[in-house]
Structure 1
Amino acid sequence: MKVAIFGSSGFIGKNLVKSLKLKTDVQEVSVRNISWRNNINIDTDVFINLVGKAHDHKGTATEKDYYFANVELVQNIFEVFNKSTADLFIHISSLAALEEFESTKPLVESDECNPFSVYGQSKREAEQWLIKQSLSENKKLIIIRPPMVHGSGDKGNLGLLYQLISKGIPYPLASFNNERSFISIDNFIFYIEKIIERYDSLESGIYHISDNETVSTSKIIEIIKEVLQKKIPDISVPKLIIKKLARIGDFIPFPLNTNRLKKMTSDLVVSNQKINVALNVRKLPFSAEEGLIKTIKSFKK
């Protein structure tokens, strides 16, 4: 089995390459190289696309930048796949293509999409384009929608919470109670490896992956404090006051705004039943809590 991975330089890509190299022949393909199309091994079996733009920490990215990375490059890579002898195309999309803030029920693949940001909208457009394509004979297209992926090397929101607690700053949103889906990098890789092993049992289409259990933000704070062995009290600021402060952040520079508050305190749960049934997965390598503990411990190194 030979696997070509596109976009291997990021957090997920580095971890995935490291794991897959233990079991199969992996080629890392950089689309920054203008001759990348000619560099792909001719006998590649699987294309895995991780190319995309998610975060704009410098605030300089344009809408065109997002659509180039999340749509145009996806189209280019898929077209090369469809003309190749490879059998399987795994495209890593995002839950943001479906929903970015909250849901009152576990989200399934057939739910109506409601992307909010340019990132989510571009991810959804790529999904729609891929689904419309005619696959060459014996080929399969698997689109994966993960929620937030965390693990060693992660520079996302978990790291920000860790920095907050490590400095002894109390968590001010303890009055909110929520449940959210996450996926550890170990469980993410487990799903990818199972898809490669058993793709004959999958139909082409969209699949959600996530940890089997949900976790609240307050539970994450509790785990961080346990790992750090810090006894820091949480602050239960009344919800009404927090929401008013968030509205202020919608208009002036402020650490909290309405959208950020929703992401930190609302329910957003994913159903992974479809892929678990298709792959006959009954247990993941790590529970949600075990995965979070492993990730948070990696921040101490």
Structure 2
Amino acid sequence: MCQFARGPPSDSLCQTIAWHAGVDPELTMLLVTGATGFVGQDLLRRLRLRNLPFKAACRSDRAGYLAVGDIDGGTDWKAVLPGVDAVIHLAAANQNVVDGSNPGPEVFRTVNTEGTINLAKQAAASGVKRFIFISTIKVNGERSAKERPFTPQDIPNPATDYAVSKLEAERALIALSKTSDMQIVIIRPPLVYGRGAGGSFKALAQLVRSGIPLPMASIGNRRSMIYVENLADLIVTAVVHPAAAGQVLLAGDGEAVSTPELLRLLAAAMGRRARLVPCPPAVLQMLGRAIGKEELVSRLTDWLEVDTSHTRALLDWTPPFDMRDALKRSF
């Protein structure tokens, strides 16, 4: 499914679109959740550059942010929703395959599913016109078939508790859109990288920087990623573009690379040379199982390619930065 419950754009959203065309109407007020996170901080910078007014929400008291406490099925959003025309929901419980941290299915469901549904219902009741939900490509699956990138039409195939919680939230949002006037936009990004990124991107960068030989020259996969500034640009586009309403949008830089290619690009961005040596992927996978890092090794050896042609054509969107320039900006 790639489209649902579409309707005409709201008046205030039309005003924002008109403003981008050169008119000077009253601007739309946005609410950004998870505003202190990696993606959230970059998104706020882009909103400031675009002169789009926003409210930034986070869990605890911080200067310039609205504190909402823990996000779950009982969070009260009434104090921050008045006057908001569009919500960008970034806040989530995440997993980290590098350090092995995993909040568990109950936390994922509480925050990612129940927390999202609760916010969306209150947003709809408050008159919010568009709700942008940042989901994950893992809803499509942990790996794509060789030479067959993921598309919005794929039957969801989540394999982790995290991905299941995101899919459950997606489905609840779609159901809500059919009983309310609030438009839903779902964005599924793959790995997000950039300056300050953690997780597997940080771990790979540290390996390249160390200069030790890496047994990854024989990996022949292809994986898609998205630079954080490209994702922020896509999110803003999804807020103001009328065609985004009711869509599942797959995100990505548009270029999928193999793990060896990525390591070489990382090295070049850091002014270094990647030292890669051959090793059969099957051996790497066996070693990963032996040391309890099977999922991390799978990310290095498996395919996870994303077809973003639907997103690009529908929104007439092109990522502002290609992968090589984006990697240079990441260090």
Same fold (TM over 0.5): yes
Contact 1:178 1:265 in 2 (8 A): yes
1:53 corresponds, among 87, 93, 109, to 93
In the superposition, the TM-score normalised over structure 2's length comes to 0.81
- SS of 1:37's partner is coil
Alignment-derived partner of residue 155 in structure 1: 198
AA aligned opposite 1:18: R
Question: Would you say 1:284 and 2:319 are equivalent positions?
Answer: yes
Q: TM-score, normalised on structure 1? A: 0.88
1:220–1:292 contact (8 Å) kept in structure 2: no
CA distances 1:150-190 after superposition (whole Å, capped 9, x unpaired): 11221121111111121111121111111111111111111
Q: Do the aligned partners of residues 76 and 116 (structure 1) sit closer, same or farther apart at CA in structure 2, a change above 3 Å counting? A: same
> What's the secondary structure of 1:38's corresponding residue?
coil
Q: Which runs of 5+ in 2 are unaligned?
A: 1-27, 59-67
Q: Secondary structure at the match of 2:248?
A: strand
Q: Aligned equivalents of 2:247 and 2:240: distance in 1?
A: 17
Contact in 1 for aligned 2:32/2:55 (Cα 8 Å): yes
1:260 counterpart residue number: 296
Cα distance in 1 between the residues matched to 2:328 and 2:221: 19
Alignment-mate amino acid for residue 213 of structure 1: E
Q: After TM superposition, what 4+ stretches of structure 1 lie above 6 angstroms from structure 2?
A: none
1:93/1:145 contact within 8 Å kept: yes
CA distance in 2, matches of 1:81, 1:135: 15
* CA apart distance, 1:60: 6.3
Q: Aligned partners of 1:82 and 1:121: how far apart in 2?
A: 24
Structure 2 residue 38 is the aligned partner of structure 1 residue 11: yes
**1:216 equivalent among 226, 246, 258:** 258
Contact kept in structure 2, 1:98 and 1:124, CA below 8 Å: no
Does the 8 Å contact 2:75/2:115 carry over to 1?
no
Q: Which moved more, 1:64-73 or 1:264-273?
A: 264-273
Q: Out of 139-148 and 48-57, give the one that drifted further.
A: 48-57
1:70 partner letter? N
SS state at 2:55 partner: strand
Counterparts of 1:57-96 in structure 2, within 5 Å, are 57=99, 59=101, 61-96=103-138
Identify which range, 223-232 or 71-80, moves more after superposition.
Answer: 223-232
Task: Tell me how large the CA RMSD over aligned residues is.
Answer: 2.0
Map of 1:50-199 to 2, 5 A cutoff? 50-56=90-96, 57=99, 59=101, 61-104=103-146, 105-135=148-178, 138-198=181-241
Instruction: Indicate the residue corresponding to 2:54 in structure 1.
Output: 26
Measured after TM superposition, the shift of residue 232 of structure 1 is 4.7
CA-to-aligned-CA distance 1:88-109 (integer Å, 9 cap, x gap): 1000000011111332201111
Aligned pairs, how many? 288
> Equivalent of 1:233, from 275, 295, 318?
275
Q: Show CA shifts across 1:103-162 (max 9, x none).
A: 220111121111111111111111111112244664310011011111122112111111
